[in-house]
Amino acid sequence: MEAFNYYNPTRLINGKDKQQEIGKILKEDGIEHVLLVFGKSSIKRSGLYDELVSILTDKGIRFTDHGGVKSNPVLSHTREGIQKVKENNVQAVLAVGGGSVVDESKAIAAGALWDGDVWDLFKGQKTNKALPLYTILTLSATGSEMNSGAVVTNEETLEKFSFSSPATFPKVSIVNAAFTFGLPMDYMAYSAVDAITHTLEVYFTAQEMPLLKRRFIENIVLTVMETTNKIIKDPKDYDSRAEFALASTWALNGLTTIGVGKYSFPNHMIEHSLSAIFDVPHGAGLAVVLPAWMKWYKEKNTKAFERFAKEVFGLDTADQGIVALEDWFLSIGAPTKLDALNVGVIDNKEVAENAFLTSKKWGMSDVYSIETISDILDIAR
Amino acid sequence: MEAFNYYNPTRLINGKDKQQEIGKILKEDGIEHVLLVFGKSSIKRSGLYDELVSILTDKGIRFTDHGGVKSNPVLSHTREGIQKVKENNVQAVLAVGGGSVVDESKAIAAGALWDGDVWDLFKGQKTNKALPLYTILTLSATGSEMNSGAVVTNEETLEKFSFSSPATFPKVSIVNAAFTFGLPMDYMAYSAVDAITHTLEVYFTAQEMPLLKRRFIENIVLTVMETTNKIIKDPKDYDSRAEFALASTWALNGLTTIGVGKYSFPNHMIEHSLSAIFDVPHGAGLAVVLPAWMKWYKEKNTKAFERFAKEVFGLDTADQGIVALEDWFLSIGAPTKLDALNVGVIDNKEVAENAFLTSKKWGMSDVYSIETISDILDIAR
């Protein structure tokens, strides 16, 4: 087993109506003014916005609105948020939404205490300072509610980059799975694909992995699949929603990679370029890239692919396991071919060059050549 | 799924020679004087004591020795530790040892900032203050390195009580599994039984449990069994030692009980009375109590017992699963009958009365009558 250093101080609160606790939590932490970060109008339509305004007002906590976060959050809007923090003497960030809102909020929280431009952090500069971040999750998928990473797109350069800091773990994350009752089923499918991909990238790229970890990941994948199937049948199945939420948090809060040898995230790297250029939903892009990458990669870790087929699908060969996963993606309504993304002509070279440059800039351990990425995209046609 | 509030801020560092980092860690935290808590002479024989003295001295960190922690730590020695803290202006506690040393250290850390007697905390009074606690683990079993609980025995009253506080999570726990190379094989077996029992008490007593959790616990049990078997064959198998250590930490750091319905720890409750009265090693007592309790309890959660038999041992019935676990305990050298504890005559009534009173005082959700506990002990004869 590899040496590790695991640290995750996020308090994770999960339950019906738990958003009601946010006022008390902020008050106890001495917070008097928050930046309220959210996406489009869904939290206004659902009544959650009004509920939070009432909770904050009751506790005498002021707030500055920062709505309009995009589903692939962008740098210009992040900078606007930082500006609002500085102008309004804001002490904390309250993110209300899914992974995109949480990611932009992390960038705002760190950027607000960073002397230069926030994009410096995405280009590799390090910070240990951030405003305290609180999140109320309305969509489970990215795991961002319990890790320190954030991905933001620079719209000018079409770079979708990430950063993390020990200071950007949310202090408290509140998950009320009932908020996801109204989620359109295609987005439910994308969420499932995202959570599964977070674990499978590690599972397949790490050559050395204790059985404890292999089984842990298989458990998460099985749980995501089982609960997704139940949610599609009965969208108001709260227990399945809550279990899905927990599995997707576990998929990327550090637990899957403890003690694991070298691993990488090539599918995320390729998908980030797809969505930076074509603005496709992250999970939809992953559903296309992952099966193609698996077909291309399978000989590099045959044992893991065979084990995956057997433990997750009860099948015998690596190929059967890949096809079963692809079929399952299709069965829940996720696209598995580039054409099915419906974003017009996708040029291999444009995506591959972007992904190649991005992975080099990220300092990824396993940088794929432009030709390799192009080959993988071909398999997805 | 039940609502939950999960919080675990302990930094867990695992790897060969990682104890060398403790000086840097304490220095960065501004600690100038630690109470160095340890057990009998084993860390002096192994050279670890001298190594730590050298590391602390190099960093200009003073230390006050507090050796002699018993394997069931006692109140009088805990009070002595608190006295030393107060007399020497100690700022932090550094626990070097196994679960007993860590448990006593938690009590010292909290007791040092508590106005009354530390036993108040074990009798139910609450505190949110403790000195920062750092641990270097030399024996994996109890999970104490990554939770906030501590068990101490009051030798005068023969009460083995526990307490916990949000302030008694270790700040940093360092695990170097190579320290366990010299552990006698009977104690290796007791450690395995302890870790397994931590998970199985939850697995069987919780009537409602998401599949995510059932599989998570089965994974831990399988890993503990597989790695123990390997360690018995090759005591210097570092990877298996390290994986065993991680599995035993996961067994009691809160991850197994997230989102799980009501559960209880009847086996620990009975065993604590056994070891409070007869001073048997905790894991040895559990190896005797658990199979007996399983035979007594199995009809109360048949589905979980049948699932356990199938998933862990590939067997068909609840009874077969219980026998297989008992046989495995025997195969690794753990006792499974009261007589095999070799502590003379064990009076059912004395143990049962102690356990009954203790579980009432702990406010356990599921208090067993004296007759019931006596019946369970009879099955263990």
pLDDT digits (tens, 9 = 90+) for B332-354: 999 999 999 999 999 999 999 99
- Tens-digit pLDDT profile for residues B96-140: 999 999 999 999 999 999 999 999 999 999 999 999 999 999 999
Count of beta carbons in the 10 Å neighbourhood of residue B54: 11
Cβ contact B216–A219 (<8 Å): yes
Return the closest-CA partner of residue B186 out of B235, B151, B117: B235
Q: Tell me what pLDDT residue A360 has.
A: 84
- Token pair, residue B207, equals 């009537």
Q: What is the pLDDT of residue B94?
A: 98
CA distances (Å), origin A350, targets A276, A295, A297: 11, 22, 22
Question: Is it the case that residue B324 has pLDDT exceeding 90?
Answer: yes
- Closest chain B residue to A7, measured at CA: B11
Long-range contacts of B56-61 (CB under 8 A, 24+ apart): B56/B22, B56/B23, B56/B26, B58/B23, B59/B23, B59/B24, B59/B26, B59/B27, B60/B27, B60/B32, B61/B23, B61/B26, B61/B27, B61/B31, B61/B32, B61/B33, B61/B34
* Residue-level pLDDT at A358: 83
In this predicted structure, the answer to whether residue B237 has a pLDDT above a threshold of 80 is yes
Query: What was the pLDDT predicted at B207?
Result: 85
- From residue B248, how far is each of B182, B188, B215, B241 by CA, in Å? 18, 12, 16, 11
Residue contact A3–B14, C-beta within 8 A: yes
Distance from CA of A349 to the nearest CA of B (A): 41
Q: What is the pLDDT of residues B359-368, one digit of tens each?
A: 887 777 778 9
- CATH 1.20.1090.10 residue window(s) in chain A: 184-379
Tokens coding B347:
């009076």
- CA quadruple B316, B320, B322, B327: dihedral sign: negative
pLDDT attached to residue B141: 92
Say if the Cβ atoms of A11 and B5 lie within 8 Å: yes
Secondary-structure breakdown of chain B: helix, strand, coil percentages, each rounded to the nearest 5? 55, 10, 35
Residue B149 has what pLDDT? 97
Q: How far apart are the C-alpha atoms of A124 and A358, rounded to whole Å?
A: 12
Inter-CA distances, B277 with A45, B40, B72, B77, B373, Å: 63, 21, 11, 18, 15
Topology (CATH) of A184-379: Dehydroquinate synthase-like, alpha domain (1.20.1090)
Half-sphere exposure of A270 (CA within 13 A, CB side): 34
Q: Which run of H or of E encompasses B268?
A: helix B266-278
Beta pairing, strands B11-14 & A4-6: antiparallel
Q: Give me the residue from A1, A13, A216 closest to B219, CB to CB.
A: A216
Per-residue model confidence (pLDDT) at position B116: 97
Chain B: closest CA distance from residue A11 (Å): 5
CA distance B103 to B105: 5
Residues 6+ away with beta carbon under 8 Å from B345: none
Question: How would you write the pLDDT of chain A (381 residues) with one tens digit per residue?
Answer: 999 999 999 999 999 999 999 999 999 999 999 999 999 888 999 999 999 999 999 999 999 999 999 988 999 999 999 999 999 999 999 999 999 999 999 999 999 999 999 999 999 999 999 999 999 999 999 999 999 999 999 999 988 889 999 999 999 999 999 999 989 999 999 999 999 999 999 999 998 899 999 999 999 999 999 999 999 999 999 999 999 999 999 999 999 999 998 999 999 999 989 988 998 999 999 999 999 999 999 999 999 999 999 999 999 999 999 999 999 999 999 999 999 999 999 999 999 999 998 888 777 777 899 999 999 999 999
Output the pTM of the full model: 0.95
**How is residue A270 written in tokens?**
């390729």
> Rounded to 10 degrees, what is the CA torsion of A337, A339, A341, A346?
110
For A173-226, the pLDDT digits (tens) are 999 999 999 899 999 999 999 999 999 999 999 988 999 999 999 999 999 999
pLDDT band per the 50, 70, 90 thresholds, residue B158: confident
Tokens of B206: 């919780």
At A359 the pLDDT is: 84
In whole angstroms, what is the distance from residue A196 CA to residue A247 CA?
9
The nearest alpha carbon in chain A to B166 belongs to A11
- Which of these, B12, B9, B130, B131, lies nearest to A171 by C-alpha position? B9
Q: Would you say domain B182-379 falls under CATH 3.30.360.10?
A: no
Q: Which residues of A touch B255 (CB under 8 A)?
A: 255
B199 neighbourhood in chain A, CB within 8 Å:
none
> Best residue in A2, A6, A221 to probe B by mutation, most B CBs within 10 Å?
A6
Residue of A212, A214, A222, A311 to mutate, interface with B, max B Cβ within 10 Å: A212
- The nearest CA of chain B is from the CA of A16 a distance in Å of 7
Chain B residues with CB inside 8 Å of A215's CB? 215, 219, 222-223
Nearest residue, CB atoms, B5 vs list A13, A16, A211: A13
Asked if A15 and B4 come within 8 Å (Cβ–Cβ), the reply is yes
User: What whole-number distance in Å separates Cα of residue A353 and Cα of residue A269?
Assistant: 11
Q: Phi first, then psi: what are they for B339, rounded to 5°? A: -60, -35
* pLDDT score for A362: 74
8 Å CB contact between B1 and A246: yes
Tell me which DSSP letter residue B254 carries: S
Distance in angstroms (rounded) separating the CA atoms of residues B272 and B282 = 7
Residue range B172-201: mean pLDDT, rounded: 96
**Distance of alpha carbon B23 from alpha carbon A304, whole angstroms:** 40
Residue B370: both structure tokens together: 């004296």
Please tell me the class of the B11-179 domain. alpha beta
Tell me the two tokens of residue B288: 């005797």
pLDDT in tens, B257-290: 999 989 999 999 999 899 889 989 999 999 999 9
pLDDT of residue B288: 98
Residue to test with chain B: of A25, A246, A257, A258, most B Cβ within 10 A: A246
- Ranges in chain B annotated CATH 3.40.50.1970: 11-179
CB A11 to CB B7 under 8 A? yes
Contact in structure between B155 and B249 (CB atoms under 8 Å): no
Alpha-carbon distance of B223 to B248, in angstroms, equals 9
- Give A128→chain B minimum CA distance, Å: 14
Mean pLDDT of B72-91: 97
Sort out which chain A residues have CB atoms less than 8 A from B212's CB and list them: 219-220, 223, 243, 246-247
- Kindly list the residues from chain B whose CB atom is less than 8 angstroms away from the CB atom of residue A210: 223, 239, 243, 246
Q: Is the pLDDT of residue B71 over 90?
A: no
Q: Is the dihedral of CA A196, A198, A204, A209 positive or negative?
A: negative
B164 bridge partner residues: B149
pLDDT at B367: 86
Nearest Cα neighbor of B81 from B69, B71, B97 is B69
Contact B13 A5 (CB under 8 A): yes
Q: Given an 8 Å threshold on Cβ–Cβ distance, is B3 in contact with A12?
A: no
Q: How far apart are CA A297 and CA A319, in angstroms?
A: 11
Specify whether the backbone of B110 is left (phi greater than 0), alpha (psi in -120 to 50) or beta.
alpha
- In chain B, list all ranges with CATH 1.20.1090.10: 182-379
Tokens of B155: 């030798």
Q: Would you state the pLDDT for residue A246?
A: 97
B184 phi/psi in degrees, rounded to 5: -55, 145
Task: Answer yes or no: do A243 and B16 touch at CB < 8 A.
Answer: no
Residue A7: list chain B partners with CB under 8 A.
9-12
